[in-house]
Amino acid sequence: MKVAAGQFAVTSDSVKNVGICIDYMRQAQAAGVDLLVLPEALLARDDNDPDMSVNSAQALEGTFVSALCQASLGSEMTTFLTIHVPTTAGRAANTQVALRNGEIVAVYQKIHLYDAFSMQESRLVDAGATVGPLVEVAGMKVGMMTCYDLRFPEMAISLALAGAEVLVLPTAWVRGSLKEHHWSTLLAARALDSTCYVVAAGECGNKNIGQSRVIDPLGVTIAAAAESPALIVTDVTAERLTEARNKLPVLKHRRFAPPTLL
């Protein structure tokens, strides 16, 4: 399976942002990509207005996702991304969607909200109540995670125990002391915990690090971007996954009950 991660700086103009997403989708389709991951919270962002992502929230039937669905028509490539979807007055859910051939094929509402490092995502965002469904892409099963979910190993392990072979991770990973080290360490750790591939796409604006990566089931980085807009493309294989799980059968060797997620 060919996978890709696209990173860019989200702007305050949702029309511009959807155009960038569509351009990445077209580039990925032309490259024969089966699975594309885009960053987190793509509707709108402003460095001087931390509430813009929530205040610009749209229903999944709104113009933003509808335009992406239209762009995906006629293609079996599956695209993963997140937008904020209104819940109650002034609040929203950070919602990951998987799009394929004109349709939304899966939805996951972010469970772990980023109330850390002096930020408080839960101030305006409602947490999800369940993990997302597995999505089959080119014969492999894909589990959905979003940004701060990366810090919780039980989530990656639970998805792997449910059958996931690839984990996707749209993010807007905030810059800060040691944060880039945390990013690289946690991506490798979650791949090793779950013996899954991890495909992570990062927003690369002034406040976020970018650094999209694809990690293999033994924790090896097989594709990476720096801090600038980029589309990275690489191959993942069921053979490598089987080889990794035979060498490192951590899912079979567990001595604790499988973690329970909500």
Q: Which two tokens stand for residue 96?
A: 């990951």
pLDDT at 257: 76
Catalytic annotation present for 40: yes
pLDDT at 5: 98
Query: Mean pLDDT across the stretch 118-126?
Result: 97
pLDDT at 259: 65
Marked catalytic residue, from 110, 165, 196, 203: 110
Q: How far apart are CA 63 and CA 72, in angstroms?
A: 14
Q: Which pairing describes strands 103-109 and 92-100: parallel, antiparallel, or unpaired?
A: antiparallel
How many other CB atoms are there within 10 angstroms of residue 143's CB atom?
A: 26
Marked catalytic residue, from 147, 165, 196, 203: 147
pLDDT tens per residue, range 47-100: 899 999 999 999 999 999 999 999 999 999 999 999 999 999 999 999 999 999
pLDDT at 102: 98
Q: Which two tokens stand for residue 180?
A: 């880039």
Residue 256 pLDDT > 90: no
How many other CB atoms are there within 10 angstroms of residue 40's CB atom?
A: 26
Residue 1 is classified by DSSP as -
Residue 165 pLDDT > 70: yes
The superfamily in CATH containing domain 2-246 is Carbon-nitrogen hydrolase (3.60.110.10)
Q: Which two tokens stand for residue 105?
A: 């094929």
For the chain, give every domain's residue range. 2-246
Return the SS3 of 207. Answer: coil
Marked catalytic residue, from 40, 121, 165, 203: 40
Catalytic annotation present for 110: yes
pLDDT tens per residue, range 193-213: 999 999 999 999 899 999 999
Q: How far apart are CA 50 and CA 114, in angstroms?
A: 13
